[in-house]
Structure 1
């Protein structure tokens, strides 16, 4: 389930999001049972910045905290106090995917890193072009988007391998994950994930 959160929850937007267990008991429709949400973005200003921790949850996420048959009532409650704790992200049976941004072209390449197990935070992303033996650092654009600009005036050579380094120091390589015939807007699934 998806949510946006205060900057302190999102931890600067690294990686593909931070996972939290959230639950409520301040409304009669609350089940008191935790639901896991993925913070995928920082929520807009206002109350999100005024509070140390604020979740701007999707309707599905709100409904997941409700007693059976009371999801609509809980969604209609508006702002609720929730209890929360950070948990590792778990995408059981799903490997990391790379969604190529619509603005990508032969000289500019940007990907969204999705479905990363573990702490959800990346400290570095590197790209290796076809025929190269060195990794080139990508720059975090915002959120889980990482980009590489060819400053040489030469077109980038695919297929691309992508190397991810988590905040905890774990390194994961998705070899040739972006094919030579890549398309802007397409998603390419790797054969790997953090365990």
Structure 2
């Protein structure tokens, strides 16, 4: 009798172990991802620009963080396509990625802003000027109308002397910002031909526009033509033109630039006959 009871108990334990083990395994497999990931993705995808929250003196409220090395460039151009130019004059690492309200789908590339902070002991309260050269995911921090994800260099520029590292270690800063004209003293507009350009497809990066700094429209005129053909924003600060006719484009090209405020500038014959992909051609003009 005792043996039969023991056998029954052993059988019951074996059945119970089979029932419990799969449940434990399945819970591990269904373990959710950290909750912080999902809100960030949804906020970025659904983010729409909202009106800026105005601060005193015509300034607007925003948030700021930094990325990259503490005294670095942040990134190599990022979503605007400026590449290593962000660390060179005239950008000189004083750059920032901007949230959707600032980046504007790439139309905000090149715009200049003054930024300053007073909300942390290391803040100097003095403005520094940054250029939008990349896109920052929008809506990362609740309640922000705009966000600047700055290079370590530009964030440190808002600090009191000797306190740049403390300011960079402060996390998400509350800052104030305002749009200002870009000033590239002694530097004319540059046109860098994309490596994928060919006689039937023209793609160019445009940078260092004084004044507004960013562009709403670009037009191209071929040699011997009296017609301006609209170019299409490819991505960031790159603009393209496809012939679709099977006929090669006739250089030299003139380019007509329309800034954010509607100011027009023409760079006549700025792209010469015999142009080559990967080469940068500088204009003789700028907005100022």
TM surpasses 0.5: yes
**Which residue is equivalent to 1:109?**
202
**Which residue is equivalent to 2:248?**
155
The 8 Å contact of residues 108 and 132 in structure 2, kept in 1 or not, is answered as no
Following the alignment from structure 2 to structure 1, what is the Cα–Cα distance between the partners of residues 139 and 103? 16
**Is 1:37 aligned to residue 146 of structure 2?**
no
The alpha carbon displacement at 1:48 in A equals 7.0
The alpha carbon displacement at 1:49 in A equals 9.1
**Is 1:4 aligned to residue 97 of structure 2?**
yes
TM-score (norm 2): 0.63
RMSD: 1.9
Question: Which structure: larger Rg?
Answer: 2
More helix by share: 2
Q: Which has the higher contact order (CA 8 A, sep 6+)?
A: 1
- Select the residue among 161, 174, 188 that pairs with 1:95: 188
**Is 1:138 aligned to residue 228 of structure 2?**
no
The alpha carbon displacement at 1:90 in A equals 1.5
Following the alignment from structure 1 to structure 2, what is the Cα–Cα distance between the partners of residues 141 and 101? 11
After TM superposition, where is structure 1 displaced by more than 3 Å over at least 4 residues in a row?
48-51
The alpha carbon displacement at 1:157 in A equals 1.9
Following the alignment from structure 1 to structure 2, what is the Cα–Cα distance between the partners of residues 117 and 71? 29
The alpha carbon displacement at 1:56 in A equals 0.7
More strand by share: 1
Following the alignment from structure 2 to structure 1, what is the Cα–Cα distance between the partners of residues 165 and 176? 20
Flag structure 2 segments of 5+ consecutive residues without an equivalent: 1-93
Q: Which moved more, 1:6-15 or 1:185-194?
A: 6-15
The 8 Å contact of residues 17 and 41 in structure 1, kept in 2 or not, is answered as no
**Which residue is equivalent to 2:151?**
58
For these two proteins, the number of residue pairs brought into alignment is 195
The 8 Å contact of residues 215 and 257 in structure 2, kept in 1 or not, is answered as yes
The 8 Å contact of residues 14 and 120 in structure 1, kept in 2 or not, is answered as no
**Which residue is equivalent to 2:63?**
none
Flag structure 1 segments of 5+ consecutive residues without an equivalent: none
TM-score (norm 1): 0.91
